[in-house]
């Protein structure tokens, strides 16, 4: 039994699958992959989670949290790049785990990636809803609190949320776009990326002169326990607070690994995959550090905990940067477009992971059914619309965001471990890109990501364990019996 559930899928078999006539269409270049990565990375993590981490975890030291998260992603990114150049097949960490650690571990990571992609899309759609209300406010309109928040949220005025309709709407709209085809989706994403990066640079440039040194004093707050408006306690300040902030803003880096899910649709994956992954990560890390420093300098910690909690970037500009109201409005529009591109890539990545799992028999065939005209897994997209839509409509953004972060960190740990294993078991496989300083880099990746998981606290550990338990039950009821690899 043990030998069967840890049976590994031969790499040669994976590569043959890319030649199948029902395979996904190859249309993407290195430039498109970098745009795909930046489109996924710059979004809710930067424009929403930065303020949340500052308020609940580290104050201005959230900047250090970004540095820690960036270092962890660098180590994991180097491991991802080797895998992606060696195994250019859709499926990301799921596929890599199948070749190195066997079927059951692959199932665990595939199930875990639902936390990253599906719940990641839900988190960003909730943030999209916040900024939509900000935009509507410019025209003296607003979607009522009840219909733009989950039933678990209560406003400062005592209003209870019922359902987040705008979040559900944007998920539906982008699902339809994805079904039309990845080429069209990639073109739209590239336009959004240019606007989004320009807005980030404008905010850094104009906001730098409005930094108030008082807001950065002390830069690392003294370690205390902070209870937020929803009654949830957080380690604030000190080392634990910074690690917690790193875990929270780690959500801001989610996306560069989504590039690896596009390997099967890339024209020259052995060359373009490493460029796409590491290029998008490098660009975003520099922008993140500068952005976090400026945002926490312009607005105060108390702002992020109260009136500036939602749509924090626009609030900071319109409150503390006189004469730049136009920038605040432009930022609101750009953020809405930027969030849309993030949701697009998250939904894309999720459908491609389950496409691979379905081809292996671990989930039903419906997830790998490809549209005859558009050559996209359309049925899978519709099913995930329902799943993501439920979370977006009825669960608070902070809970969904932390689940996304911890799920992704767990996936990164397994990818780093996979490089260590594959270097021992299959040293002969050609690698267009090699992770440097093995075993040091993978080990440092495991340690850094593990530290961020620790910083997210017990509540998120228990959620992860519960999610994994549900996944294992499904595997032993369905996947283990339907696996195509086990039938050989």
Span 177-225, pLDDT tens digits: 888 765 555 566 667 778 878 888 999 999 999 999 999 999 999 999 9
Contact 48/130 with Cβ under 8 angstroms?
Answer: yes
Measured CA to CA, the distance from residue 410 to residue 229 in angstroms comes to: 29
pLDDT band at residue 387 under the 50/70/90 scheme = very high
Predicted pLDDT at 43: 66
Residue 373 tokens, joined:
């005209």
Examine residue 464 and say whether the peptide bond preceding it is cis (omega within 30 degrees of 0): no
Q: Which residue has better confidence, 308 or 147?
A: 147
Of the candidate ranges 33-47, 59-73, 119-133, the one whose mean pLDDT is the lowest: 33-47
Per-residue pLDDT at 389: 93
Find, among 398, 404, 358, 360, the residue nearest to 381 by Cα. Answer: 358
The predicted pLDDT at position 213 comes to 95
Which pLDDT does position 356 carry in this prediction?
81
Kindly report the average pLDDT of the chain as a whole number: 84
Phi/psi zone of residue 153: left (φ > 0), alpha (ψ -120 to 50 degrees), beta?
beta
The phi, psi pair for 164, rounded to 5°, reads: -95, 85
Phi and psi for 377 in degrees, rounded to 5? -75, 75
Structural contact between residues 47 and 130, judged by C-beta atoms closer than 8 angstroms: no
The tally of CA atoms less than 13 A away on the side-chain side of residue 236 is 19
Bridge partner residues of 266 (DSSP): 28
**392 CB neighbour count, 10 Å cutoff:** 32
Taking alpha carbons only, the member of 20, 368, 25, 384 closest to residue 181 is 25
Q: What share of the chain is helix, strand, coil (3-state, %, to 5)?
A: 75, 5, 25
Tell me the three state secondary structure of residue 475.
helix
Give every CB contact of residue 453 below 8 A, 6+ residues apart in sequence: 247, 406, 409, 410, 460, 461
pLDDT tens-digit map of 284-310: 888 999 999 999 999 999 999 888 887
What pLDDT does residue 256 have? 67
pLDDT over 60 at 415, yes or no: yes
Quote the CA–CA distance of 189 and 168 in Å, as a whole number: 20
The pLDDT of 253-272, averaged and rounded, is 70
**166 pLDDT band (50/70/90 cuts)?**
very high
Question: Which stretch, 208-217, 251-260, 332-341, has highest mean pLDDT?
Answer: 208-217
Cα separation, 480 vs 5, whole angstroms: 8
Q: How far apart are CA 88 and CA 162, in angstroms?
A: 44
Would you state the pLDDT for residue 21? 44
What is the reported pLDDT for 186? Answer: 59
Helices and strands in the chain: count of H runs, count of E runs: 20, 2
Helix (H, G, I), strand (E, B) or coil at 222: coil
- Is it the case that residue 414 has pLDDT exceeding 60? yes
Could you tell me how many residues make up the chain? 488
* Cβ neighbours around 390 below 10 Å, total: 12
Tell me, what's the pLDDT at 183?
Answer: 57
Give the gyration radius of the chain's Cα atoms.
21
Q: What class does CATH assign to 26-482?
A: mainly alpha
Instruction: Name the DSSP class of 9.
Output: P
Question: Which is higher by pLDDT, 292 or 253?
Answer: 292
Residue 20 or residue 120, greater confidence: 120
- C-beta separation of 55 from 305 below 8 A: yes
The confidence score (pLDDT) of residue 143 equals 93
| Whether 313 contacts 203, CB under 8 Å | yes
Would you state the structure tokens that stand for residue 461, as one six-digit string?
């550990």
Written as six digits, the tokens of 202 are: 């404008």
- Give me the mean pLDDT over the 145-171 stretch: 88
CB 78 within 8 A of CB 70: no
- Residue indicated by tokens 């496409």: 355
pLDDT band at 484 (very low <50, low <70, confident <90, very high): confident
Q: What is the pLDDT of residue 63?
A: 94
Q: Distance (Å, rounded) from C-alpha 257 to C-alpha 83?
A: 11
Domain ranges across the chain: 26-482
Token pair of 144 as six digits: 């009522």
Whether the pLDDT of residue 446 is over 80: the answer is: yes
Higher pLDDT, 72 or 38: 72
Strands (E), 123-275: 224-227, 233-236
> Given this model, what pLDDT does residue 487 score?
59
Please check the confidence at residue 73 and state whether its pLDDT lies above 60.
Answer: yes
Contact criterion met (CB below 8 Å) for 328 and 206: no
112 and 467 in contact (C-beta within 8 Å)? yes
**Torsion angle of the four alpha carbons 51, 53, 56, 61, in this order, in degrees rounded to the nearest 10:** -100
Distance CA 30, CA 259 (A): 10
**Residue 139 burial (CB < 10 Å; 0-12/13-18/19+)?**
exposed
């Amino acid at each position: 039994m043990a030998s069967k559930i840890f049976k590994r899928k031969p790499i040669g078999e994976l590569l043959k699958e890319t030649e199948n006539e029902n395979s996904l269409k190859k249309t993407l270049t290195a430039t498109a992959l970098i745009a795909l990565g930046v489109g996924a990375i710059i979004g809710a993590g930067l424009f929403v989670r930065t303020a949340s981490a500052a308020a609940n975890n580290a104050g201005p030291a959230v900047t250090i949290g970004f540095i820690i998260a960036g270092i962890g992603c660098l180590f994991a990114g180097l491991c991802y790049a080797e895998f992606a150049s060696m195994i250019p097949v859709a499926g990301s960490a799921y596929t890599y785990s199948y070749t190195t650690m066997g079927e059951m571990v692959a199932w665990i990571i595939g199930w875990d990636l639902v936390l990253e992609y599906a719940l990641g899309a839900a988190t960003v759609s909730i943030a999209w809803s916040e900024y939509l209300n900000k935009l509507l406010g410019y025209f003296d309109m607003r979607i009522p609190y009840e219909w733009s928040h989950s039933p678990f949220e209560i406003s400062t005025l005592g209003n209870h949320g019922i359902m987040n309709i705008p979040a559900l709407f944007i998920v539906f709209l982008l699902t339809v776009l994805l079904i039309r085809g990845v080429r069209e989706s990639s073109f739209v994403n590239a336009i959004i990326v240019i606007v989004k990066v320009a807005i980030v640079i404008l905010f850094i440039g104009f906001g730098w002169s409005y930094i108030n040194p008082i807001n950065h004093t002390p830069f690392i707050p003294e370690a205390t326990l902070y209870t937020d408006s929803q009654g949830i306690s957080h380690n604030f300040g000190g080392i634990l607070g910074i690690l917690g902030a790193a875990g929270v803003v780690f959500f801001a880096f989610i996306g560069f690994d989504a590039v690896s899910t596009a390997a099967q649709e890339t024209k020259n994956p052995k060359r373009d995959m490493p460029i796409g992954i590491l290029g998008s990560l490098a660009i975003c890390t520099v922008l993140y550090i500068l952005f976090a420093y400026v945002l926490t300098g312009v607005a105060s910690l108390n702002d992020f905990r109260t009136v500036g909690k939602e749509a924090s970037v626009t609030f900071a500009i319109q409150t503390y940067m006189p004469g730049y109201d136009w920038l605040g409005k432009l930022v609101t529009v750009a953020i809405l477009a930027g969030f849309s591109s993030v949701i697009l890539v998250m939904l894309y990545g999720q459908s491609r992971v389950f496409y691979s799992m379905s081809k292996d028999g671990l989930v039903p065939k419906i997830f790998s059914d490809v549209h005859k005209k558009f050559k996209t897994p359309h049925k899978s997209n519709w099913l995930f619309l329902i799943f993501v839509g439920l979370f977006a409509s009825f669960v608070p953004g902070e809970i969904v965001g932390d689940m996304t972060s911890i799920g992704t960190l767990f996936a990164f740990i397994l990818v780093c471990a996979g490089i260590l294993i594959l270097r021992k078991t299959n040293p002969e496989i050609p690698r267009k890109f090699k992770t440097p300083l093995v075993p040091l880099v993978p080990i440092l990746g495991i340690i850094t990501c593990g530290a961020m998981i620790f910083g997210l606290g017990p509540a998120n550990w228990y959620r992860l364990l519960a999610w994994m338990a549900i996944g294992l039950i499904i595997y032993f009821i369905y996947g283990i019996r339907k696996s195509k690899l086990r039938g050989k």
